[in-house]
């Protein structure tokens, strides 16, 4: 499992991806834990939801993580359809 470098809202962020799918309005989303980088909310770490149509770029980092975050909840109710999630 590799970290992602996501450019979103004009800021570069390093994130641990956990869930990818569609929300209830049909928008493609990524739920990830942000480890560092900018944020429009001012919180440079924590759980974030990224609308994929607003992501400027995504790249794989060389850094890896080995397990989902302890507080991660499978089958997130924010998603109408989950395409991929950590096991």
pLDDT in tens, the chain (87 residues): 999 999 999 999 999 999 999 999 999 999 999 999 998 888 889 999 999 999 999 999 999 999 999 999 999 899 999 999 998
pLDDT of residue 45: 94
Q: How many residues does the chain have?
A: 87
- Domain count within the chain: 1
pLDDT of residue 31: 97
53 φ, ψ (degrees, to nearest 5): -75, -5
pLDDT of residue 72: 96
pLDDT of residue 23: 97
Range of the domain at 19: 2-85
Residue 72 is classified by DSSP as -
């Amino acid at each position: 499992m590799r970290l992602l470098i996501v450019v979103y809202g004009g800021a570069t962020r390093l994130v641990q991806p956990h869930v990818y799918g569609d929300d209830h309005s049909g928008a493609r989303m990524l739920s990830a834990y942000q480890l560092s980088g900018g944020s429009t909310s001012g919180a440079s770490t924590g759980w974030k939801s990224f609308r994929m149509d607003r992501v400027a770029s995504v790249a794989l980092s060389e850094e890896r993580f080995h397990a989902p975050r302890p507080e991660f909840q499978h089958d997130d109710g924010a998603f109408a359809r989950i395409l991929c999630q950590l096991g």
